[in-house]
Chains A and B, each alone.
Chain A
Amino acid sequence: MPPRGNTILKVSNLKRSYGNFVAVDGLNLQVNEGEIYGFLGVNGAGKTTTIRMLMGIITPEAGTIELMGETTKRTSLKQKQKIGYVSQEQVFYPWMTAQMLGKFVGGLYPDWDKQEFERLLQVLEVPPNRKSSHLSGGMRVKLALALALAPRPSLLILDEPTAGMDPVARREFLDIIEHQAREYGRTTFFSTHLLNEVERAADKVGIIHRGKTRFEGDLTLLQSRVRKIQATEGTVLPAGFEVWQILDPDPITGQREMVVDAPPEMWADSSIAGEKLSLDDIFISCVGVATMRI
Chain B
Amino acid sequence: MTGVLIQKELRRHWPAFLLLGFLTWSAIFIAAFRLNADGTGAGAFTGVGWGLFWLIPVTGIILGRALISSEYQAKTQIFLEGLPLPKWRMITLKLVLGFLLTCIYTMGSIAIGWLISMGAEIVTPKFLGIMTASACGWSLFVTGFFLVTGFLGRYRLIIYLTLALSIRMIRNSSIPIREFPPFALIDSSRFGLEKEVWPVFDLQVTGLIILGWIVAAYTLGLAKEGNISSMLGEKMSYREKMFIGGAFGIGFMTLFPFILNEPKPEPFDIPGAVEEEWEGVVVKISPEELEKPVDLEVAIAGKLARRLAKQRDWLGISKEDFPGIFIVEKSDIDEEERIDWEEIPEENVVLMYAGYRQPEFSENRLLSWTLSQVVRKYSKSRVSHEDRWWVVCGLEGLWEMEQTDADTIKAREQMAAKTVKQHGLTIDNLMGWSKYQDDVEWRNADAVAWMGMRKLEQTAGSEAVRTFARMAVAHQVTRTDGRAVAWDYLHPVTSAFEKATGESLENFVTEWRDYILSVDIEKEDVE
Contacts and interface: CB of A to CB of B under 8 A. Distances in A.
Interface of A: 52, 55, 57-59, 77-78, 80-81, 85, 87, 89-95, 100, 103-105, 107-109
15 contacts: A52-B226, A52-B227, A58-B225, A81-B84, A85-B82, A89-B78, A91-B74, A91-B75, A92-B76, A93-B12, A93-B76, A105-B83, A107-B3, A108-B4, A108-B84
Contact of A91 (B7, B8, B12, B76): B76
Contacts of B225: 57-59
Contact of B226 (A58, A78, A108): A58
B238 interface: no
B54 interface: no
B79 A92 contact: yes
Nearest to B78: A91
Nearest to A78: B84
Nearest to A100: B11
Tell me whether chain B's interface is mostly helix, strand or loop, or mixed: helix
B260 interface: no
Contacts of A77: 84-86
Interface in B35-94: 74-76, 78-79, 81-86
B82 A108 contact: no
Nearest to B89: A77
A251 to B, nearest CB: 47
A261 B269 CA distance: 99
Given A90-B79, A104-B4, A107-B3, 12 more contacts: A57-B225, A57-B226, A77-B85, A85-B82, A85-B83, A91-B74, A91-B75, A92-B76, A93-B74, A93-B76, A107-B1, A109-B84
Given A95-B12, A104-B8, A107-B1, A57 B81 contact: yes
A108 B85 contact: yes
B104 to A, nearest CB: 23
Contacts, number: 56
Main DSSP-derived SS at the A contact region: loop
Interface of B: 1, 3-4, 7-8, 11-12, 74-76, 78-79, 81-86, 225-227
> Which 9 residue pairs of A and B lie closest in terms of their CB atoms, listed nearest first?
A107-B4, A80-B84, A81-B84, A91-B75, A85-B82, A57-B81, A91-B79, A57-B226, A77-B84
A55 B78 CA distance: 12
A103 B7 CA distance: 10
Q: Which of B76, B78, B83, B84: most chain A Cβ within 10 A?
A: B84
Nearest to A80: B84
Contact of B75 (A59, A89, A109): A89
B234 to A, nearest CB: 13
B388 to A, nearest CB: 53
Contacts of A55: 81-82
Nearest to A93: B76
A107 B12 CA distance: 17
Contact of A58 (B78, B85, B227): B227
A87 B12 contact: no
